[in-house]
Amino acid sequence: MTATIEPDVTIDSRDAACPGPLMDLIGKVKTLEAGTVVELQTTERNSTTDVPEWLEEAGHDLLEIESRDDHWSLYIEVN
């Protein structure tokens, strides 16, 4: 399924400690238009729970969480 997701924006937050990846995402999302698809790359397991919680709070959509060899890719659609 993820093979079909082509992000418009990729945020590389690999190796950033919590809450770095979430903060990177929040900082970027503020600047993006509705409909933009974002890939957040993170090596923090907590991001796989913290980010979906924030998306729920802020009203954006989680499209997919994909586990890669050395990181997670979270796909988000900005509303």
Partner 1 sequence: MHRIAIVGGGTGGTVLANRLADELQSELEAGEVDLTLITADPNHVYKPTFLYVPFGKKTVDDAKRPIDELVDRRVDLTIGRVIDIDTDRQKLAFADSSVLGYDQLVLATGANLEPEAVPGLADGGHHFYGPEGAERLRDELAEFTEGHLVLSVVGVPHMCPAAPVEFTLMVDDWLREQGRREDVEITYTYPINRAHGLESIADWATDLFEERDVTLETFFNVEEIDPDNEVIETVEGTELDYDLLVAIPPHAGSDLVIDAGLGDDGWVDVDKHTLEATAAENVYAIGDVADVPTSKAGSVAHYEAGVVADRIASRARGTVPTATYDGKTVCFLEAGMDEATFIEFTYGEEPYVREPSKPLHWAKLGYNESYWLTARGLL
Asked if 13 is an active-site residue, the reply is no
Task: Output 5 or 14, the one with its CB closest to partner 1.
Answer: 14
Beta bridge partners of 38: 9, 76
Give the span between the Cα atoms of 55 and 35, in whole angstroms: 14
| Residue among 6, 31, 35, 59 that touches partner 1 (CB under 8 A) | 59
Question: Alpha helices, DSSP H only, in 1-79?
Answer: 20-29, 47-58
Given candidates 58, 64, 68, 79, which one binds partner 1 under the rule CB under 8 A?
58
Nearer to partner 1, 2 or 79 (CB): 79
